[in-house]
Structure 1
Amino acid sequence: MPAITPEWVQMMASYNRWQNECMLEAMESLSDADLRKDRGAFWGSILGTANHLLWGDQMWLSRLSPGATAPTVGLKDSADLAPTLGAWEAERFRTDGRFVLWAKELKTVSLTGDLSWYSGAAGMEKRAPLSLIVTHVFNHQTHHRGQIHAMLTQAGAKTSDTDLFLMPGFL
């Protein structure tokens, strides 16, 4: 199985933060009703999907980083994690900062071995190679931001580029 590097994780944590900032800018251009409108996505609305993404990031970070705390709601209530865009923005800012700090502290050896955790989604104990879990976390982020990007575009919001190579400081 190919290994990931601390540098790759740092790049992806920076990409995650940049994309969340871009997403916030587009979300701020919409009304509260537009953010909460059920758009047929799995988590319903733009805000609901953004909340689920934040919930997932906080849950995984609590498993990956000592001292990080898990969200106070379960998966089924993740779409309601932050009640307003302002509350979501504050939590998103803190969570992205924690991800970037966690990534900066990684050493190659930090990405070896397995991670064991109880998965509420699966209803059982799980164990997987840590490098796969970290890759999954960034894939999960990209997946849900793609959904949000599509919903924002459909709602008429101006969205930003999502290509990794266009991230400021990438090259």
Structure 2
Amino acid sequence: MKNYFRRFARFNQWANERLYAAVSALDATAFQAPRSGFFPSICRTLNHLYVGDRIWLARFEGCDIPHRRLDEIPHPLFQHLWAARQVEDARICRVMDDAAESWFAGTLHYTSVTNGQAVSMPVESVLAHFFNHQTHHRGQVHAMLSSTEVAPPDLDFAAFMVKVGEAG
């Protein structure tokens, strides 16, 4: 399981680099403009992903949870968010690289940020959610970009596999 999730950590990093490169072409108004989506702007959606990742990473590492709400906007400016995103993507790769193989077969116990409920879930299921959640919201930003002058980038996992030479 470790190599499987290490690959998804690198895919996440690659996809974020491509998505943020496209988003960087927007001006601040377009970055923060209201758009159709659960978090109704590119800024809000990317901040949600950043906040969610930091919450999960804190749980994985046994640290204090750094956020209390999933709709926090710690970085309203693109340049600050991009710098912070790069730190978290490197952290995700490091956590997957450094985790013992046995951790992936274990159980994660945590308290929900949204309702305070105690939760226990298999680590492999948590990680499936963690990486799927990122793909889900990147897809929303991809769709939001379609309503701008910036072409959305190819974020397919298959494109990543070809790029890194693992497609076979």
Q: What is the TM-score with the length of structure 1 in the denominator? A: 0.90
Q: For 2:106 and 2:62, how far apart are their aligned partners in 1?
A: 16
Equivalent residue in structure 2 for 1:157, among 112, 127, 150: 150
Equivalent residue in structure 2 for 1:140, among 133, 137, 144: 133
- Pair 1:116-2:109 in alignment: yes
Q: For 2:105 and 2:70, how far apart are their aligned partners in 1?
A: 31
2:69 partner letter? L
In structure 2, what is the equivalent of residue 7 of structure 1? Answer: 3
For residue 116 of structure 1, give the secondary structure of its aligned residue in structure 2.
strand
In structure 1, what is the equivalent of residue 69 of structure 2? Answer: 75
Q: What is the TM-score with the length of structure 2 in the denominator? A: 0.91
In structure 2, what is the equivalent of residue 41 of structure 1? Answer: 37
Q: For 1:60 and 1:11, how far apart are their aligned partners in 2?
A: 18
2:65 partner letter? A
Identity, % of aligned positions? 30
**Residue deviations 1:61-82 (CA, integer Å, cap 9, x gap):** 1111245x533x422542x121
In structure 2, what is the equivalent of residue 85 of structure 1? Answer: 78
Q: For 1:82 and 1:110, how far apart are their aligned partners in 2?
A: 32
Aligned residues: 164
Preserved CA contact (<8 Å) 1:112 1:131: yes
Q: For 2:75 and 2:5, how far apart are their aligned partners in 1?
A: 26
- Pair 1:56-2:49 in alignment: no
1:106 to partner: Cα distance: 2.6
**Residue deviations 1:112-142 (CA, integer Å, cap 9, x gap):** 2211111022331111111100111001000
**Residue deviations 1:84-115 (CA, integer Å, cap 9, x gap):** 10110111000000001111123321112211
1:170 to partner: Cα distance: 4.2
1:25 to partner: Cα distance: 0.7
Gaps of 5+ in 1: none
Gaps of 5+ in 2: none
Q: For 1:92 and 1:24, how far apart are their aligned partners in 2?
A: 9
